[in-house]
Structure 1
Amino acid sequence: MSSISEVYLDTASSAPLHPAARETLLAALDRGYGDPRRLHAAGRDARLLLDNARAVVAECLGARPDEVGFTASGTEAVHRGLLGLTAATGRDGIVHGAVEHSSVLHAAAWRPSTAHASVPVDAAGRVDLAALAEAAGRPGVGAVALQAANQEVGTLQPVDEAELPADVPLLVDAAAAAGHVPLPRRWAALTASAHKWGGPAGVGVLAVRRGTRWTNPFPGDDGLDQLGGFPDVPGALAAAAALQAVLAEREEVAARRFALVDRIRAAAGALPDTEVVGDPVARLPHLVTFSCLYVGGDEIVAALARRGFGVASGSACTASTLEPSHVLAAMGALTHGNVRVSLGRDTTVEQVEAFCAALAEEVHRIRAEAGL
């Protein structure tokens, strides 16, 4: 069980609730309980709140309010978005980068197709744009999925540089990037998850551009208004408030966290037989991943937890199993002894310095006890 004094350095998995989200959520709980499809006063009030949330999120994403819908998670948003694009085009093939989130991989596996293609990445985790364009042009491809930034190593993808066939829509998974860096401008569908930017858990976002062929791939009505049943109106409004707040402070917070991550990258890189992965510059400001040879990732995580630091290891999609990361494997990076550190908006210099010292001590200790 985590200590309440733990320095939480796993915000890429789920960020603490932003103060703006907490304040909005508590206020909305008393107003947003009604069914927004009803015409009575409570229903109309809930509809007003839901429409306001869609308008705010749309503005933050560079979309129109009628292009935005809320889901129960970012994973659901990816599944609905990606499978909805292929259902509308009538072509089941999905092309994606080899380092995409598991939600993309699972969507592709759910509807097997000979036209599926996983596109390789370089050592930094950046997709091969020429290979992406070639795969997207093959017969039977109905959609391309490309993340804005990688959830495990932080590398930004060159989404706006991708050259794709005009009839093959692009879904951008912005879960790791939204609220942290400017988003790509070019997309037919975009997905995100509120708990990654300080909104409440259980609120995903699916945006589909007007004019894009998309249909609901699951039972239910088409349209983005109320995906998946009864909407979480207070959650949606709190998610919108948090996104608006983090964008207002993004430049200042990002600059501070970028410098702190540089400090961690340097400290980890100074350890013997340790590999720091991901692009050192074109990356998310708050995230760094490294792998230590001769040390188990679970050992480091447990040791740092005892020292009061909460970090992650293994695949960011399946960390509960501590399976080797498919992202690191695709990059040709060391998958053993993997640690991912992601800073909060309030992480301090003192906390980072203490973490760096604890990391060095624990890695040396574990290796010494193993006779290395």
Structure 2
Amino acid sequence: MTSEPEVYFDSASSTRLHPAARDTLLAALDRGYGDPRRLHGAGRDARLLLENARAVVAECLDVYPDEVSFTASGTEAVHRGLLGLAEASGRRGVVHGAVEHSSVLHAAAWRPHPSTSSIPVDRHGLVDLEALARAAMAPEVGVIALQAANQEVGTRQPVDAVDRPAGVPLLMDAAAAVGHGPLPRHWDVLTASAHKWGGPAGVGVLAVRRGTRWSTPFPGEDTPESPGFPDVPAALAAAAALQAVLAEAEELGRRQFAWIDEIRATAGALPDVEVVGHPTDRLPHLATFSALYVGGDEVVAELARRGFAVASGSACTASSLEPSHVLAAMGALTHGNVRISLSRDTTDDHVRALCAALGDVVLGIRRRAGL
């Protein structure tokens, strides 16, 4: 094992806490302990902090503050958002892209319905818009779910180009895309997760546009907000991180896009390696490739020994041994998959060192296996 500090290339899973979030969190711990529903001083303080967090997130997402709710995770935001739309309409059918996050797939399958359908994607992971429009015409379809960008391969989806019937709302999972460039605008419900942009874990965002019919699908009050006691300091820290990340997103995105181009070219030059995801219409910080004759876990482990923390997209969740449903839907190689995602701390030297190691690692594993 290397004695050098680990270089983190797994920001698509979770990021380090942004300095703005850390400072805000520590400051808010002394004031945000009260129940914001109470009328005493501590409650009023907590309510003020929570409303400040809501206002900042709303400004960052270009929505109204009363459209923003906080949940306990991005997954809960998806579940509450999607199932709440179906609950309000009384129509249980869900039309979704085949490469959506597992939280969308699980919510859609929770109450099976004949009108629920998974829409195919092309080899880059782009959804078939014509097939999606046809499926959404079914009378029992109550929700369309289409992500802003894919969490495994980075491909951006054409959310604003979706042709949908009147009265069928669209939920956009923006967890992978927030903080990495402009978001699509033609959605009714947006979900996101703070730990993806440098906020603390345990904070999800559920934005429901005014005029959208939504009803709680779970026990509790009829509000998109998570039931129970809110984590006010964490919400405020998440808002501070989002504001800081967006301020640096354009410049950072340019650097990251060029670095990812370099990583994609390096991986693509190796024999029997397939680089997946759209080459240009993609997130700036994420690259994924699949290699024949090696296991993704082998590559991850060998890179870890050399001081690089990367991920394998060979499973749709960390606890699953099933091949990635994203790669399978794209018709891509599901074996030997590696995902590399850059952070705000990534440097040119980090990228150069990783590129220098990729060939040695992949070819070395094959050589040791006698290939």
Global fold match (TM > 0.5): yes
Contact 1:312–1:319 (CA under 8 A) maintained in structure 2: no
User: SS state of the match for residue 321, structure 1?
Assistant: coil
CA distance in 1, matches of 2:306, 2:4: 13
Number of equivalent positions: 371
* Partner of residue 103, structure 2: 103
1:167 partnered with 2:167: yes
Mapped partners of 1:316, 1:172: distance in 2: 22
Question: Are 2:221 and 2:227, in contact at CA under 8 Å, matched by a contact in 1?
Answer: no
Match for residue 16 of structure 1?
16
1:30-55 deviation digits (Å, cap 9, x = unpaired): 11000000001000000000000001
The Cα offsets for residues 91-128 of structure 1, whole Å up to 9 and x where unpaired, read as 00000000000000000111110010000001000000
The equivalent of 1:71 in structure 2 is: 71
In 2, are the aligned partners of 1:313 and 1:319 still within 8 Å (CA)?
A: no
* C-alpha displacement of 1:145: 0.3
Contact 1:57–1:240 (Cα < 8 Å) also in 2: yes
TM-score, structure 2 as length reference: 0.98
Q: 5+ unaligned residues in a row in structure 2: which ranges?
A: none
The DSSP-based 3-state class of the residue aligned with 2:146 is strand
Partner of 1:211: 211
Deviation, structure 1 residue 323: 2.8
Q: CA deviation at 1:274?
A: 0.2
Compute the displacement of 1:296 (Å): 0.5
Structure 2 contact 314–334 (Cα < 8 Å) conserved: no
Write the deviation string for residues 116-167 of structure 1: whole angstroms up to 9, x where unpaired.
Answer: 0000001000000001110011121010000000000000000001110111
Query: Residue 223 of structure 2 aligns with which residue?
Result: 223
Q: Residue 313 of structure 1 contacts residue 322 of structure 1 at CA under 8 Å; is this kept in 2?
A: no
Equivalent residue, structure 1, for 2:273: 274
Structure 2 equivalent of residue 194 of structure 1: 194
Give 1:321 deviation, angstroms. 3.1
Instruction: State the SS of the aligned residue for 1:175.
Output: coil
Are 2:99 and 2:150, in contact at CA under 8 Å, matched by a contact in 1? yes
Identity %: 76
Letter in 1 for 2:114: T
Query: Structure 1: how far apart are the matches of 2:38 and 2:349?
Result: 52
| Cα deviation 1:196-255 (Å, max 9, x = unaligned) | 00000000000001100001111110123x422111100000000000011111100000
* 1:336 alignment partner AA: H
Q: Report the Cα distance in structure 1 between the residues aligned to 2:107 and 2:30, rounded to whole angstroms.
A: 37
Partner in structure 1 of residue 26 of structure 2: 26
**Within 1, Cα distance between the matches of 2:294 and 2:12?**
23
Q: For residues 315 and 240 of structure 1, what CA distance do their matches in structure 2 show? A: 32
Which residue of structure 2 aligns with residue 364 of structure 1?
363
User: Partners of 1:322 and 1:334 in 2: how far apart?
Assistant: 15
- 2:68–2:208 CA contact under 8 A, matched in 1: yes
Aligned ranges for residues 114-263 of structure 1 at < 5 Å? 114-224=114-224, 226-263=225-262
Query: Does the 8 Å CA contact 1:60/1:244 hold for their aligned counterparts?
Result: yes
Looking at structure 1, the residues matched to 12 and 129 of structure 2 have their Cα atoms a distance apart, in angstroms, of 26
Normalising by structure 1, we get a TM-score of 0.98
**How much has 1:62 moved relative to structure 2?**
1.4
State the shift of 1:319 in Å. 2.7
RMSD: 1.3
1:317 CA displacement: 4.0
Q: Does 1:90 align with 2:90?
A: yes
Query: In 2, are the aligned partners of 1:152 and 1:315 still within 8 Å (CA)?
Result: no
Shift of 1:313: 0.5
- Cα 1:288–1:315 shift into 2, 3 Å: same
Which amino acid is the alignment partner of residue 65 of structure 2? P
Structure 1 segments (4+ residues) deviating >4 Å: 1-4
1:144 counterpart SS class: strand
Q: Distance in 2 between matches of 1:2 and 1:42?
A: 49
What residue number does 1:60 align with?
60
Distance change >3 Å, CA 3–CA 128, structure 1 → 2:
farther
